[in-house]
Structure 1
Amino acid sequence: RVAVLEACLGLAGMLASVGGGQWRRAQGYVNPFWLVLAASLAAALYAAFCLQESVKQRKPAKLLTLRHYQAVYRLYTAPEQLSSRRKLALYSLAFFLLVTVHFGTKDLFVLYELGSPLCWTSDLIGYGSAASYLAYLSSLGGLRMLQLCLEDTWVAEIGLVSNIAGLVVISLATTTALMFTGYGILFLSMAATPVIRAKLSKLVGEAEQGALFASVACVEGLCSLVAAGVFNSLYPSSLHFMRGFPFLFGAIILLIPAAILGWLEIWDSDLQYRHFSDASPSPAD
């Protein structure tokens, strides 16, 4: 379900990119921004007056209270199930690094495409943005197919490999064909994010799901802040020796969440094997 939600985001972004590129070329930037404002207001009104709570509160909830912050704090520091809390912290770190790279590199695509030697026009930039959003849909299909024969963690690892390889190709792109090749290699790049979200959700109880979603939203906000500060300052600093260095830097950073996910999966498999060995009766019995 998380992957389907992200695929909807990708479909909307792809349609907006293709239509927006042509619209900006014909009428400039003002009218598209009016549409963005109208769509945002419509979404806010729909969320405020039409959507209902999925979990009903047994008692009226207070708006100004520290209880919600305490719930998020207890989520990571509660003494019970210490191994689950450690895995929660490691998965959160992997999610933070992955989303930071995603936000940081996505913000630079347009600048990279506008500059020499690519020098793309607005319609090409729209097609390129649509190609990047296409990864949401292809990742959903790839996730569903790969889950038939692989564990979720290894599907996420394949998604990270796709992300790393695509960023490396984009960092070296000097032609339009090579740039779109990089976008094509990113076709499974969004498969890791829903897997990590699902892993996080399985580590907490039903009563802690709200606190988990709140902490994930905070992590995403922090990712946006860190990505803007790091990648937007790294791009002008690296222009004199390699224009695509921020993408290469992002690919290197993604090796860390790949290592975290692989280590946690191997650790869990080892624990399950030990538990199975201890539970199995010996031949003497």
Structure 2
Amino acid sequence: MAAPPEPPPASEPPPAAKAPGRRLAAVEPLLFLATVSLGLQGPLATQYLWDRLGADLGYSRGNSSSADGCTEGPGANGSTDTLQREVETLVSHWNLYINLGGFFVGLFSVTLFGPWSDSVGRRPVLILPAVGMAMQAAIYLLVMYLRLHVGFFLLGRILSGLTGDYNLILASCFAYVADTSAARARTFRVAVLEACLGVAGMLASIGGGQWRKAQGYINPFWLVFAASLAAALYAVFCLQESVKQRKPAKLFTLSHYMAVYRLYTTPERQGSRQKLALYSLAFFLIVTVHFGTKDIYVLYELGSPLCWASDLIGYGSAASYLAYLSSLAGLRVLQLCLEDTWVAELGLISNISGLVVMSIATTTPLMFTGYGMLFLSMAATPVIRAKLSKLVNETEQGALFASVACVEGLCSLVASGVFNSLYPATLHFMRGFPFLFGALILLIPAAIIGLIEVWDSHLAYRHFSRSSMSLTNS
């Protein structure tokens, strides 16, 4: 009996990219809708927690967007400051609990569904998490309508985690792009997909801030529900399958978890596995800082001395999402004269400088200056995703991006634990210290990415030298 054919090497483009049949529907609209839902939900949920928990403690704040817009309570300034810090601490801790619940459930569901999609296709694992996000939005609406305890937010997050949550949508969308793109064009295709995150998040942040100021929380959360549901319907009726050779596969089996494990332990292509681990570590640190600082943006802006109202918070969130678009444009231009690795390094420099400015921001113009300096901050992640994708075979793309989604879930856990704990602990001496801490952490992935590039260049030089010597001797 003939031996089974060997899988194509990781450097070759997948069959869909080499010999495309019909043109597949774009996956970007689905990611756009899911990100609109998430972009609305995050800042609104944090503000809702602030208002609900603040009301329980007798603390309130005005709607002024000026620097002195925080409303003082009946007591002295010291008493008001104490109440504000207590509210900030409670909101920070509830964010931590909610993120912890989502992570521990999502860790198992994403690593289950991701490798499964390599066999049965991407569409089922795009439909399921979109439905889960709609269920979470429905529970949040019930909490707001019925004034239920904010602990029910945790229930909604767990239900969404059981279906894979937003991380599974991200993983499946990137695997879909890897299925349908040539290796040489993959970095830019991944950057386009990440730019969709920026456009959707920016629109959701601006609209959500203004809408919440005009009509409260409930109506914007109806859009959160509708966008999640629309993403599920798009996957059902519009999206075509990108996996060419589908086959039935059991869902509840340990083989899916083993597929993720083998990515990092299989001895073949040892150099690729080492780079896979190093790039994953760099990705983990970058995304941890991104999630951690993003978690405390709203808290930092709500408190004194900035005291932003919901409209300014919306503009600030939009400015942070704008970095996706500016990073896409910068990536496209810089690729004309630089290798992808050095584009990623410039992105990290942009990220570090923006966080340093934010750490000392005490006025609205300085805070927006920090946002502006993040203009190239999102260039590093598409480069790393593309490099990871090129290190594995086409039959491992689902397992790879499931592992990346697990890394992102772990990032969310670590970021919530570290930054949501660090923020209240450092309020008494430097409110912006977590941003400075994040900037220092980013020096590590910058060193990792640079060392890998130097290592590859050294190996290429040695190979060239040996080839030259062989030709000379012959």
User: Does the pair score TM above 0.5?
Assistant: yes
* Partner residue in 1 for 2:364: 176
Partner of 1:219: 407
CA distance in 2, matches of 1:123, 1:23: 9
Alpha-carbon deviation of 1:101?
0.6
Q: Which moved more, 1:17-26 or 1:273-282?
A: 273-282
Find the aligned partners of 1:221 and 1:49 in 2 and give their Cα distance: 29
Is it true that 1:119 corresponds to 2:304 in the alignment? no
Question: Which runs of no fewer than 5 residues in structure 1 stay unpaired?
Answer: none
Residue identity matched to 2:444: I
Counterpart check, 1:188 vs 2:376: yes
What are the superposed Cα offsets for residues 29-76 of structure 1, whole Å, 9 maximum, x if unpaired? 111111101111221233245433311344212221222111111110
CA displacement 1:118-143 (0-9 Å, x = unmatched): 11111111111111110000000000
**1:105 is matched with which residue?**
293
Could you report, residue by residue, the CA deviation over 1:151-174 in whole angstroms, capped at 9, with x for unpaired residues? 000000000000000000000101
Distance (Å, rounded) in 1 between the aligned partners of 2:450 and 2:201? 31
Query: What code does the residue aligned with 1:163 have?
Result: N
| Separation in 2, partners of 1:77, 1:49 | 39
Correspondence for 2:158: none
Instruction: Say whether residues 1:152 and 2:343 are aligned partners.
Output: no
Q: TM-score, normalised by structure 1?
A: 0.97
| Percent identity for Structure 1 against Structure 2 | 84
Q: Does the alignment pair 1:228 with 2:416? A: yes
Q: Which residue number in structure 2 is paired with residue 251 of structure 1?
A: 439
Query: Residue type of the partner of 1:249?
Result: F
Distance in 1 separating the partners of 2:206 and 2:246: 46
Q: Deviations over 1:100-128 (max 9, x none)?
A: 11011001111101111111111111111
d(CA) in 2 for partners of 1:186, 1:59: 44
TM-score between both structures, scaled by the size of structure 2? 0.59
- Alignment partners' CA distance in 1, 2:199 and 2:277: 31
Deviation at 1:232, TM superposition (A): 0.4
CA distance in 2, matches of 1:47, 1:263: 40
**Which residue of the partner structure matches residue 219 of structure 2?**
31
Whole-angstrom distance in 2 between the partners of 1:166 and 1:204: 34
**Which secondary structure state, in structure 2, belongs to the residue aligned with residue 280 of structure 1?**
helix
Select the residue among 254, 264, 282 that pairs with 2:452.
264
Query: Aligned to 1:186, what secondary structure does the other structure show?
Result: coil
Counterpart pick for 1:6 among 191, 194, 216: 194
Match of 2:393 in 1: 205
- Are 2:201 and 1:17 aligned? no
Higher mean alpha-carbon deviation, 48-57 vs 202-211, is at: 48-57
- 2:71 corresponds in structure 1 to none
- Residue equivalent to 2:427: 239
**CA distances 1:172-204 after superposition (whole Å, capped 9, x unpaired):** 101111100000000000000000001101111
- Measure the CA separation in 2 of the matches of 1:231 and 1:242: 14
| CA offset digits 1:61-101 (Å, max 9, x no partner) | 22212221111111100011111101100000000111111
* Unmatched 5+ stretches in structure 2: 1-188
Partners of 1:13 and 1:213 in 2: CA distance: 22
| Counterpart secondary structure, 1:190 | coil
User: Match for residue 148 of structure 2?
Assistant: none
Distance 2:406 2:233 in 1: 23
SS at match of 1:187: coil
Q: Which moved more, 1:43-52 or 1:77-86?
A: 43-52
Letter of the 1:41 partner, please give it.
L
Query: Structure 2 counterpart of 1:34, which letter?
Result: W
Equivalent-residue separation in structure 1 for 2:244 and 2:393 (angstroms): 17
Kindly name which structure, 1 or 2, has the bigger radius of gyration based on alpha carbons. Answer: 2
| Structure 1 counterpart SS, 2:268 | coil
Are 1:43 and 2:223 an aligned pair?
A: no
Which segment drifts farther, 56-65 or 150-159? 56-65
2:17 equivalent in structure 1: none
Runs of 4+ in 1 over 3 A off after TM superposition: 281-285
Distance 2:237 2:412 in 1: 28
CA distance in 2, matches of 1:61, 1:50: 24
Number of equivalences: 285
Partner of residue 141, structure 1: 329
Residue matched to 2:254: 66
Distance 2:371 2:246 in 1: 48
